[in-house]
Amino acid sequence: MQTVGSDTIDLYNIGDTEFGTLREMLYRETGVSLSDSKRALVCSRLARRLRHLHLSSYADYIEHLSQRDRGSELQMLVNCLTTNKTEFLREPHHFDFLRDVVISEARKRAETGAPRRLRIWSAACSEGDEPYTIAMTLLDNLPKNESWDVRILASDINTEVLSIAQAGEYPMEKFAPLPDDWKKKYVRRGTGNRTGLGAVSPEVKQLVTFRQINLMGQWSHKATFDVIFCRNVIIYFDQPTQERLLQRLSERLNKHSYLMLGHSESSPWLTQSFESLGKTIFQRRGTAGASRPAVARPTPKPQVVASAKPPQQKRASVQQPRSSLVRPATNLQSHNILAGQTYVLRKPGEITTVLGSCVAVCLYDPECGIGGMNHFMLPSQSVDAGTSARYGIHAMELLITNIMKSGGERSRLVAKAFGGANLLQLNFGAELSGIGKQNVAFVRDFLKTEEIPLVSEKLGGVQPLRIFFQPHNGRVIVKTLRSTKEIAKRENSYQQTSAKKARNTGEVTFFNEPSAADMRR
C-alpha cells in the first residue's frame, strides 16, 4: 500500500473500478444510489480523508476499508458521502400544518378522553434544525396547563452531524429564519468565548431524543408516530429502495397520521397507502399495520452472525435459591455494572448488579447467544413525566442498539426484568414513595409497546436483589439480600443527582459504558 509522499498524487480522479466499488459499498450500507455524474463529488469529499490516512489512491482506500477496522472507517465513508443540507424552519408550510392540523386534531382527541400525547419522528435530522423546529412549534402551540406528553425521536446515519445536533449550538446567523419571539424564548446567546454562538434552550432540547439509525438497517425501536418527517431523503434512493423505506415508514404511523416529504419528492407507490394533501404532505390510509403491497427490496447488508444455539434454549428459567446462593463453578468472566450503565456480551460471560428500587432488564437473542443488561432508575415522580420516561427509554434503546451492533437480531429479543423494590420509601420516607413502582410500570409498558416478550421477572417487593445474568444461555440467578440501608443510601444519592440534572438540563448523560474500575467486583 502506497502512502502520500508526493505533490503529484491526483486524488481528484477515480477509476471506473474504484468508483464502482465505493458506490456499491455506499448503496449496501445506506441505500443511497450514486450516478456516474457524482464522480467529482466523491473525489472532492474523500480526498481529505485519504490525506488524513496518508493513502495515495482510491484502490488503497478500498483495501483499507477491507481491513479489521472496516466498521469504523465505513462510518467515515458514510459521513463523507451523505448530504446534510439543513436549516431552521425549512419548508415552513410543514410546520404550519403541524400547528394548524396535527396539534388541533390531537387536542380534539384529548377532549374525548384520548391521552394528551404526541409522538413525532425526524427520520433524517442532520444537524438538528428540523427536530428543534418541531419542538419549538409544539412548545409555542400546546397549552402548558394541559400537561402534554411529547416525544420527538431525531435520527440520522451520519455520526458527525448527530454530534452537532446533540450539542444544539450554532452560529447565531443560523437561527435567522426563526421568528423573533422564538429566538427570544428558545435561543440562548453565547457570551465571552462563545460570543457569536447561540444554543437551543434546555426546554426545547428536553423534548428531543437523538439516535443513530440507518433507515436501511434494523430499527432499534418499534414505536409508532403521529407524524414522520422524512424530508429530502428518498431523492437519493432508487425506486426499489424508496418503496421499501416508504412501506416501513407507513407501518410506523398511527391511524390517520401524517408523512412529510421534501419539496421535490414523490413516489407512485405513495398513492397506494397515502392520500396526498398537497405540498408533500401525505396522510396514512386505514389503520397502522394493515397489509401493504409487496415491494422490491435492496440487496441486504451482510449480517454478523454468531454460532447458533439450540431452539430449546430460547426461554431459560430464573433460578432463585431460597436462602444462600451457591454459584456454579465456572470460568466465566464476570462484569459488574452500576446504576446508569449497560453492558453487552457476544461471547460466554456473566453480568452482575445489585438492585433496590432500580430495575435491570436482561435482553438476549436466544439463537445467537448475544445479550446484555442495563441498570437504571427514573429520576422521580416530581420530575416532568416526559423527561422521566426518557431516562428509561435511553437505557432500553442503548441496550437494544448495542445488542444489534454486536450481531443480535432485534426481532428475536426476549427479556427478563428484576428490581423495583419499595426500598427508598422504607429507608428515606414518604417523599420517595412510588419510585420502584414507577420503574416497574415503565419496564412493563416499554416491553409491551416494543413487542419484546417478558419471559421471566421478579419485580416489586421490599428486598434488594443481586442478579447474575449469562446472556449466552439466557440463565439468570437471583439472590435476595438482607442488608438494605447501604443499597438504599447509594440509590438515594443516584436518584437525587439524576432528578437534579433532569430539572436543570433535560438531558440524559448517565448511560455510559462502565470503566475498568467500575467493572471490578
Q: Enumerate the active-site residues.
A: 45, 156
Whose grid coordinates read 455494572? 337
CB 370 within 8 A of CB 407: yes
Q: Residue 356: its pLDDT value, please?
A: 86
To the nearest whole number, what is the mean pLDDT of the chain? 80
Query: Which carries the bigger pLDDT value, residue 485 or residue 59?
Result: 59
Query: Which carries the bigger pLDDT value, residue 293 or residue 369?
Result: 369
pLDDT tens per residue, range 335-354: 999 988 999 999 999 999 99
Task: Give me the mean pLDDT over the 487-497 stretch.
Answer: 56
pLDDT tens per residue, range 59-107: 999 999 987 556 688 889 988 988 777 899 999 999 999 999 999 999 9
Query: Which carries the bigger pLDDT value, residue 197 or residue 68?
Result: 197
519 torsion bin: left (phi>0), alpha (psi -120 to 50), beta (else): alpha
E strand or H helix that includes residue 211: strand 208-212
CB 369 within 8 A of CB 307: yes
Q: What is the full DSSP assignment across 9-72?
A: ---S---HHHHHHHHHHHHHHH-B---GGGHHHHHHHHHHHHHHTT--SHHHHHHHHTSTTHHH
265 torsion bin: left (phi>0), alpha (psi -120 to 50), beta (else): beta
3-state secondary structure 107-122: HHHHHCCCCCEEEEEE
Whose grid coordinates read 434512493? 237
Instruction: Measure the CA angle with vertex 485, ends 481 and 488; round to 5°.
Output: 90
User: What grid cell was written down for 510?
Assistant: 448517565
CB 292 within 8 A of CB 251: yes
51 torsion bin: left (phi>0), alpha (psi -120 to 50), beta (else): alpha
Instruction: Kindly give the pairing relationship between strand 149-156 and strand 117-122.
Output: parallel
Task: Give me the mean pLDDT over the 10-29 stretch.
Answer: 89
CB 150 within 8 A of CB 142: yes
Task: Give me the mean pLDDT over the 406-426 stretch.
Answer: 83
Domains of the chain in start order, with CATH, are 16-81 (1.10.155.10), 92-284 (3.40.50.150), 311-323+332-505 (3.30.1330.200)
Query: Which carries the bigger pLDDT value, residue 285 or residue 112?
Result: 112
**Residues with Cβ within 8 Å of residue 446, at least 6 apart in sequence:** 392, 393, 396
Q: Is 489's pLDDT higher than 80?
A: no
pLDDT band per the 50, 70, 90 thresholds, residue 317: very low
Query: Which carries the bigger pLDDT value, residue 489 or residue 134?
Result: 134
Longest CA pairwise span in the chain (Å): 76
Q: Is 463's pLDDT higher than 50?
A: yes
